[in-house]
Structure 1
Amino acid sequence: MNKRWTIGKIKEFVEKNSESKLLTTEYHGFSQKLLFKCACGSNFEKTFTKFKNNNQRKCDVCQPPKASR
């Protein structure tokens, strides 16, 4: 089943599942990068897919990217 994400549903997911805040106000699709504010105060961009599925829910300072293999 394909779940349609709206900016409201994404904002709700972010608030329930992370310490970050969603700053983006429009959602145009899964490949769009969204702007978030980390709990430390830094802003960072991630696609919602990465945020949701890869647990990349903090900025690169608080949660450094994993080294590529």
Structure 2
Amino acid sequence: MNKRWTIDDIRNYVEKNSDSTLLTTEYHGFSQKLLFKCACGNNFEKTFKKFKNNHQRKCDVCQPPKASR
């Protein structure tokens, strides 16, 4: 069974696994975009799934998107 993530679980995961900070205060599901603050000071939005599974843990300036195939 899959784990149900809460906003506190996500905040703890972000603190332990990246230099970014979670700014969003409510979590409504895996398709919701969350607002993060990168270590460089830029804000960026990602779904938690992309943040966690695809290692997209920085803004587009610090970690540019990969070119599409």
TM-score greater than 0.5 by the shorter chain? yes
Q: Structure 1-normalised TM-score?
A: 0.99
Aligned equivalents of 2:17, 2:2: Cα separation in 1: 21
Please tell me the root mean square deviation across aligned C-alpha atoms, in Å.
0.3
Correspondence 1:10-29 to 2 at 5 A: 10-29=10-29
Correspondence 1:1-69 to 2 at 5 A: 1-69=1-69
Give the percent of matched residue pairs that are identical in Structure 1 and Structure 2: 86
**Mind listing any 5+ residue stretches in structure 1 that lack a counterpart?**
none
Aligned equivalents of 1:2, 1:63: Cα separation in 2: 29
Shift of 1:14: 0.1
**Mind listing any 5+ residue stretches in structure 2 that lack a counterpart?**
none
Q: Structure 2-normalised TM-score?
A: 0.99
Aligned equivalents of 1:27, 1:7: Cα separation in 2: 5
- Regions of 4+ moved over 6 Å: none
